[in-house]
Amino acid sequence: MKTFFPALVAAAGLLLAGVAPAKDITLLNVSYDPTRELYRQVNGAFAAQWKAQHGDSVTIQMSHGGSGKQARSVVDGLSADVVTLALAYDIDAIADHGLLAKDWQKRLPSNASPYTSTIVFLVRKGNPKDIKDWPDLVRPGIQVVTPNPKSSGGARWNFLAAWGYALKQPGGNDDKARAFVRELYGHVPVLDTGARGATNTFVQRGIGDVLIAWENEALLARQELGKDKFEIVVPSLTILAEPPVAVVDANADKHGTRAVAEAYLQFLYSPQGQEIAAKNYYRPRSPEVAARYAGQFPATHTFTIDEVFGDWRQVQAKFFNDGAIFDQLGAGN
């Protein structure tokens, strides 16, 4: 936080006068909504490490918002050195506009996702509606809160988790999955534009019986807003959410920040970075760190996007483009 002030003054000067700041290195990390707490800690730790190793002080500026909106801003000229978004499709979109290499996802280990999460249910204390698994969400009278998958990257994982669950049931096929998901979204009273908005709606406004959320978001909400008010329910089968990270080549090269930007992302894979991720309720990739936080993350049966759906481009075309399956659900309601 202390680095904010000089950075602000320097940056304000930069913006007004178009002069580059003297020695401090500034990185812009354009991220999605629920990573605020995570990157607040990562940034402090990384800056300290970089200062110790190289002597330069690094200031990392953050921009948070819905994943798709953030990708759009980068395409429109928000000069992010690194992007840390909710799903690969959004970074693909940036790559499509030539700002980074198309094979960006191969440049870092584990699909360029240093941490993962999964989709769980947040219910009110005592689980009054007795929600245990996906089919319970479509029981009569149950209200489900989840954001709009067309505007929220996080919500696309929710949608796909539900679809994948239905698909993988005995005798499951696309038609049955479609019927299940259509019914599920019929139980949604508020379709917020972003994941944070949905959490607010459920937690603060008291709307709905169950919130479909990322595990990290559910754990954080419970932590921040009262352990005695909410419980987390892990469904029998869910999706492995892999939020990816990438250096935006064009911007990093223009700013001359590639080395720092790459080190910043590598730091996420380091033991210290993994530890911070775990503390912020993201599942670490590192087995050692994961073992230490095993109590926090219950075992789950998960499937990945690649296993069930191919890749994100296919997912986008099949489900979320205008006129695709999600829109058809809406039209049928």
Neighbours of 16 (CB within 10 A): 8
Given 44, 69, 110, 324, the residue binding other proteins (CB under 8 A)? 69
Which of 40, 168 has the CB closer to other proteins? 40
Stretch of 45-53, 232-240, 268-276, 316-324 contacting other proteins, by CB under 8 A:
316-324
Kindly give the residue spans of alpha helices, DSSP state H, lying in 135-214.
153-167, 174-186, 195-203
User: Least Å distance between CB 294 and other proteins?
Assistant: 27
Find the binding residues for other proteins in span 112-131 (CB under 8 A): none
Applying CB under 8 A, among 18, 55, 126, 170 the residue interacting with other proteins is 18
| Residue of the chain from 38, 42, 50, 66 that contacts other proteins (CB under 8 A) | 66
4 lies in the site for other proteins, by CB under 8 A:
yes
Cα separation, 161 vs 67, in Å, equals 18
Per the listing, tokens 């210290």 go with 272
**Taking a C-beta distance cutoff of 8 angstroms, is the pair 41, 95 a contact?**
no
Q: Is there binding between residue 97 and other proteins (CB under 8 A)? A: yes
Amino acid at 108: L
Pick one of 61, 110, 266, 304: the residue that binds other proteins (CB under 8 A): 61
Nearer to other proteins, 6 or 310 (CB): 6
Positions in 265-304 near other proteins (CB under 8 A): none
Task: Decide if 276 contacts 47 (C-beta within 8 A).
Answer: no
Pick the closer one to other proteins by CB: 187 or 283. Answer: 187
Size of the site for other proteins (CB under 8 A): 60
Nearer to other proteins, 238 or 280 (CB): 280
Residue type, 211: L
| Residue whose CB is less far from other proteins, 28 or 177 | 28
Q: Which residues pair with 123 in a beta bridge?
A: 210, 231
Q: How far is the CB of 172 from other proteins (least distance, A)?
A: 26
Residue ranges in the chain assigned as alpha helix (H): 4-17, 36-54, 67-75, 88-96, 109-112, 153-167, 174-186, 195-203, 215-225, 249-255, 258-269, 271-279, 287-292, 305-309, 312-315, 325-332
Among candidates 55, 66, 46, 59, which has minimal Cα distance to 9?
Answer: 59
Q: Which residues contact 205 (CB under 8 A, 6 or more apart)?
A: none
SS3 26: strand
Compute the 3-state secondary structure of the chain and give helix, strand, coil in percent, each to the nearest 5: 50, 15, 35
Per-residue binder mask for other proteins (CB under 8 A), 191-230, x = binder: xxxx-xx-xxx-xxxxx-------------x--xx-----
Work out how close the CB of 197 gets to other proteins at its nearest, in angstroms, rounded to a whole number: 7
- Which residue, 16 or 294, has its beta carbon nearer to other proteins? 16
Please identify, among the stretches 56-64, 164-172, 176-184, 237-245, the one whose residues bind other proteins according to the rule CB under 8 A.
56-64
Strand partners, 283: 116
Q: What span, in angstroms and rounded, lies between the C-alpha atoms of 324 and 317?
A: 7
Provide the minimum distance between the beta carbon of 100 and other proteins in the complex, in angstroms, as a whole number.
14
Binding residues vs other proteins (CB under 8 A): 1, 4-5, 7-8, 11-12, 15-16, 18, 28, 33, 36, 61-66, 68-69, 72-73, 75-79, 93, 97, 148, 150-151, 188-194, 196-197, 199-201, 203-207, 221, 224-225, 321-323, 327, 330-331, 333
